[in-house]
Amino acid sequence: MNKVTPPKKISKATQRAQQIREEHWGDVPDSALWSRKVCQGYTTIPRTMPIIANIIDRLSKDRPAGRAYMGLWTRAFDASVVMVDNPTAVATEAGYSGERAVTTWSQRMQTLEKLGFIYTKPGSSGKYHYVLILNPHKVVWKHKGKIQEQTFMQLQDRAAEIGAVDMKPPAAKTKAADEKEGS
């Protein structure tokens, strides 16, 4: 017995965007636009990413790592894993160039790991061959006291606007959870 899948509901935001497109650019054909449903090579990325990248840059001070983080996201699959087979290519994609491109990128990767945005494991291409990208909303909460209040509020506002339910303070640990962690 074949089951019929009901059509996917279109969100109000998508409907509004389609309406604006039709009103202002009705003469532009679909073929002139990039669509994740038609084109290959897309990834899922948080809509808060520009703010996250700015926060990372501020937390990493003289060695801004936001571009390196963004570069990782563009290579990530839904499992949040990136395999860096060619550090030179990844460094170049992140905007680092010249003889020190890989060295600069490696320093930024070290910063991202130290800040807790990524976990890494070595492999055939070096120290950062395997990368696990953690949920940036959860990581940012750990740095709340180091982030300018206005910037943090901007992130919270944007998260609320898009319905990002993961942008909330970490749950308070219970005594039982602390004891379990200590075992």
Greater pLDDT, 1 or 161? 161
**DSSP code at position 2:** P
pTM exceeds cut of 0.85: no
CA distance 146 to 57: 12
Q: Where are the domains of the chain?
A: 49-138
pLDDT of 39 reads: 82
- The Cα–Cα gap between 181 and 148 comes to 31
Q: How many other β-carbons are positioned within 10 Å of the β-carbon of residue 134?
A: 13
Q: 119 is written with which tokens? A: 């976990």
Query: pLDDT of 14-28, one tens digit each?
Result: 888 889 999 999 999
Rounded to the nearest angstrom, the gap between the alpha carbon of residue 30 and the centroid of all alpha carbons in its chain is 27
Tell me, what's the pLDDT at 160? 94
Question: Does residue 109 register a pLDDT over 90?
Answer: yes
- CATH number for the segment(s) 49-138: 1.10.10
Q: CA-to-CA distance for 72 and 79, rounded, in angstroms?
A: 13
